[in-house]
A and B are shown apart, each in its own frame.
Chain A
Amino acid sequence: MAEITYREALRRALREEMQRDPTVVIWGEDVVAYAGGGAYGVTSGLAKEFPGRVRDTPIAEEAIIGVGIGAAMGGMRPVCEIMTVNFTLVAWDQIVNHAAKQSHMFNGQIKVPMVIRTPNGHGRTAATHSQNFDAWFAHVPGLKVVAPSTPYDAKGLLKTSIRDDDPVVFLEHLQLYGTRGEVPDEEYLVPIGVADYKRRGKDVTIVTWGRMTIESLKAARVLAEEGIDIEIVDLRTLRPLDLSLALESVHKTNRVIVVEEGWRTAGLGAEIAASLQEMAFNDLDAPIARVAGLEVPMPYAKNLERATLPFAEDVVAAVHAMMQRQY
């Protein structure tokens, strides 16, 4: 067991799967030459290790995804990297109209075993470069959507995603690439569609994923000092959505806060809250609350960016509000 970064965990997953299966290739913008491999360094060194299997492509996201779909149809397992999630918008037609639909619309004659790796995130890059479309991807039947929060999950889920026979949108996060965590030296897989408790507690259930899992864990430490014991359910997969742990937790805590990074209106938090109240209305001691990003295009200025995004203190505030409220 070694402590490695989220970035290194992803790289190990790619390396292991490329060693295991010669049809796995990595195609994307600047995955070979730029800065040694990848705008954020995930594919660093892999091009040398696997000659001809890691290739730089034109900056044409619709083609990166579309060529990936075609190659997957033709018997390969491409891992297509889109530099940031913002640029997937250029390829939205390919993702929604083709990757997601091939199998069902063609009645099982075609399958698309591909992975679309792309990071969410921010970093003073303003409105067009600091967005979160988790809910958009999770809305589409035919896609699988994964958003790991830890190095352990990142590695295990990426390996599973590469072996999966359906198209998987693999949502990484710029703010997580440098985070560290324990990852076993021996091989393991994390299944798609299975949530995970990241903290056990009894007072309030936090349902979250991705970066907000880490922020929620920070919030838990603050709250613990006050004697408030929160439970954190990390969904890990956004489609298919596994609410079984969230449901189990609600039965115990009777209070739920859904924490998401993206815009609140029609966000994934709304779907989760609606589903939980359908399934566990009588267990709830309080209305389900949501913590989400503010609904503005992300500003550049440091203070405005900070104000727009949810952080641990927002989770703490939401828990306080819920605990203090009288019903």
Chain B
Amino acid sequence: MDKESLVALYRQMVLIRVFEDRAAEMYAKAKIAGFLHLYNGQEAVAVGSVSALNPDDDVVVNYRDHGWALARGSSARAVMAELFGRATGTTGGRGGSMHLVDVKNRFWGGYAIVGGHLPLAAGLAAAAQYLKTGRVTLCSMGDGSTNIGTFHAAMNWAKLWNLPIIFMVENNQYAMGTHYDVHSAVPMLQKAAGYNMYAEEVDGMDVMAVREAVCRVAERARKGEGPSFLNVITYRYRGHSMADPDVQRDKAEIAQWKERDPITRFARDVLLKRNLVTPKDLDEIQKSVEQEVEDAIEFADKSPEPSLDTLYDYIYQQPVRNMQIAGSLIRPPTIAKDIPTNGKHN
């Protein structure tokens, strides 16, 4: 990789880190509601993966999706606006934090039912195979999702049909608050072995290691060698979501992982060591990222809420027939001040 590309990886990781920290702050200020699952600590996984894929490969991830959307090219403005529930967000305020999407980047979304997106990802890969597009699907999931039925159904199907898909476990070792040793009977790679699937273990705190592994398995998929499985060992610095007081994890454990921080490590071991940048350059990157995120917050805050007129949009691709009669199906979004009547005798 050339200098610009390496610096770009660094900037993306810093962007995700700063974005998440500011999102937490906005959550505390009640600008963001609901569930907010932050990506701090796992930045190298999304950034390294996306850097290894073609722009038209398919990416499908779980609800811890801000980092993926940003890495895949969604603007900080659109992602922050979505967290704020605004019309300018990635789904116009429909999906919120857990359901970001940006199909122009072939980022097919964050999915919030654990394991629910795995068959969908296999389906995207099946379409790529059937339509001979040459695309590879990257499907990321948490370690907790490797116990649910859809994981096994999708792994079996992908191997059976030799689909061009990468199943990537972002193994942060906790399913919400439950440690891997409590939620899984066998070591992670054994789960892939059960389906005779090519598998590697990857250091998820090293962006270059992630990138190289994804390059290798994407190449396999493109050559028709089928699915693969990456057990990417990583760690999240914050609780499962902003609702998690994070009392169950040992503080010393968290501190230990932070010593292997992917951003600091990449700056120190690659960028500075190879004299690609100076400490002053890194400061400037930090400042420019902080500015970008501040701008995103201002943008989100000033953006309008979605119009009530859009409430029924896209439930179906075309407005359905007889909508005036099926009153329960389509009703103007008046808010309870008058009860709509649609019968001629009322």
Of the four ranges (under 10, 10 to 19, 20 to 34, 35 or more), the interface on chain A belongs to 35 or more
- B91 in the interface (beta carbon within 8 A): yes
Given contacts A108-B313, A193-B322, A282-B345, contact A70 B95 (CB under 8 A): no
List residues 140-182 of chain B with CB under 8 A from any CB of chain A.
149-150, 153-154, 156-157, 160
List residues 117-150 of chain B with CB under 8 A from any CB of chain A.
117-128, 130-131, 149-150
Cα–Cα distance between A194 and B323 once the two chains are bound (Å): 11
- B16 in the interface (beta carbon within 8 A): no
B contact residues around A223 at 8 Å (CB): none
- B325 in the interface (beta carbon within 8 A): yes
Q: CB distance B119 to A65 under 8 Å?
A: yes
Q: CB distance B317 to A98 under 8 Å?
A: no
Given contacts A111-B317, A141-B315, A166-B316, contact A74 B131 (CB under 8 A): yes
A contact residues around B334 at 8 Å (CB): none
- B326 in the interface (beta carbon within 8 A): yes
Among B122, B314, B318, B328, contact of A67 (Cβ-Cβ < 8 Å) = B122
B contact residues around A189 at 8 Å (CB): none
- A201 in the interface (beta carbon within 8 A): no
B96-114 contact mask (Cβ, 8 Å, vs A): 1 or 0: 0001011100001101010
B299-324 contact mask (Cβ, 8 Å, vs A): 1 or 0: 00000000000000111111011110
A contact residues around B345 at 8 Å (CB): 279-283
Q: Which of A72, A73, A76 has the most CB of B within 10 A?
A: A73
List residues 138-172 of chain A with CB under 8 A from any CB of chain B.
141-142, 144, 165-166
- B342 in the interface (beta carbon within 8 A): yes
Cα–Cα distance between A60 and B123 once the two chains are bound (Å): 14
- A175 in the interface (beta carbon within 8 A): no
Q: How far is the CB of B342 from chain A (nearest CB, A)?
A: 7
- B346 in the interface (beta carbon within 8 A): yes
Q: CB distance B94 to A105 under 8 Å?
A: yes
Q: CB distance A70 to B343 under 8 Å?
A: no
Closest-by-CB residue of A relative to B161 is: A55
Cα–Cα distance between A68 and B153 once the two chains are bound (Å): 13
Cα–Cα distance between A288 and B313 once the two chains are bound (Å): 34
Q: CB distance A240 to B154 under 8 Å?
A: no
Q: How far is the CB of B53 from chain A (nearest CB, A)?
A: 16
Q: CB distance A70 to B321 under 8 Å?
A: no
A contact residues around B103 at 8 Å (CB): 106, 109-110
Q: CB distance B315 to A142 under 8 Å?
A: yes
Q: CB distance A109 to B157 under 8 Å?
A: no
A contact residues around B120 at 8 Å (CB): 66-67, 69-70, 73, 98
Cα–Cα distance between A240 and B122 once the two chains are bound (Å): 30
Q: How far is the CB of B336 from chain A (nearest CB, A)?
A: 17
Q: CB distance B131 to A75 under 8 Å?
A: yes
Q: CB distance B322 to A242 under 8 Å?
A: yes
Q: CB distance B157 to A63 under 8 Å?
A: yes
Among A107, A141, A192, A283, contact of B95 (Cβ-Cβ < 8 Å) = A107
Cα–Cα distance between A234 and B160 once the two chains are bound (Å): 43
- B344 in the interface (beta carbon within 8 A): yes
Cα–Cα distance between A57 and B101 once the two chains are bound (Å): 29
Q: CB distance B123 to A105 under 8 Å?
A: no
Given contacts A105-B91, A110-B109, contact A70 B126 (CB under 8 A): yes
- A247 in the interface (beta carbon within 8 A): yes
- B204 in the interface (beta carbon within 8 A): no
B201-215 contact mask (Cβ, 8 Å, vs A): 1 or 0: 000000000000000
A contact residues around B102 at 8 Å (CB): 109
- A290 in the interface (beta carbon within 8 A): no
A29-66 contact mask (Cβ, 8 Å, vs B): 1 or 0: 00000000000000000000000000001101011011
- B329 in the interface (beta carbon within 8 A): yes
Q: Which of A74, A103, A191 has the most CB of B within 10 A?
A: A74
Closest-by-CB residue of A relative to B93 is: A107
Cα–Cα distance between A66 and B130 once the two chains are bound (Å): 16
Cα–Cα distance between A166 and B319 once the two chains are bound (Å): 11
- B92 in the interface (beta carbon within 8 A): yes
Q: How far is the CB of A134 from chain B (nearest CB, A)?
A: 16
B contact residues around A111 at 8 Å (CB): 317
- A71 in the interface (beta carbon within 8 A): yes
B contact residues around A74 at 8 Å (CB): 58, 123-124, 126-128, 131
A contact residues around B313 at 8 Å (CB): 104, 107-108
Q: CB distance A242 to B321 under 8 Å?
A: yes
Among A63, A275, A282, contact of B327 (Cβ-Cβ < 8 Å) = A275
A contact residues around B55 at 8 Å (CB): none
Cα–Cα distance between A105 and B96 once the two chains are bound (Å): 9
Cα–Cα distance between A192 and B316 once the two chains are bound (Å): 12
Closest-by-CB residue of B relative to A247 is: B325
Cα–Cα distance between A193 and B160 once the two chains are bound (Å): 38
Closest-by-CB residue of B relative to A69 is: B120
Cα–Cα distance between A156 and B44 once the two chains are bound (Å): 52
Given contacts A105-B91, A106-B94, A244-B325, contact A93 B113 (CB under 8 A): yes
List residues 16-35 of chain B with CB under 8 A from any CB of chain A.
none
B contact residues around A279 at 8 Å (CB): 325, 327, 342-346
Given contacts A71-B123, A107-B314, A242-B321, contact A76 B131 (CB under 8 A): yes
Q: CB distance A110 to B131 under 8 Å?
A: no
Q: CB distance A66 to B123 under 8 Å?
A: yes
Task: Tell me the B residues contacting A by CB distance below 8 Å.
Answer: 58, 60, 90-92, 94-95, 99, 101-103, 108-109, 111, 113, 116-128, 130-131, 149-150, 153-154, 156-157, 160, 313-318, 320-323, 325-329, 342-346
A selection of 5 A-B contacts at a CB cut-off of 8 Å is: A70-B123, A73-B123, A144-B316, A278-B327, A279-B327
Of all A-B residue pairs in the complex, the 7 with the closest CB atoms, nearest first, are A70-B123, A66-B119, A74-B127, A279-B343, A63-B153, A70-B120, A60-B153
Q: A74-B123, A165-B318, A193-B322 are in contact. List 4 more A-B contacts (CB 8 A).
A: A58-B160, A70-B122, A105-B95, A192-B321
Task: Tell me the A residues contacting B by CB distance below 8 Å.
Answer: 23, 25, 57-58, 60, 62-63, 65-76, 78, 93-94, 97-98, 103-111, 141-142, 144, 165-166, 191-194, 239-244, 247, 271, 275, 278-283
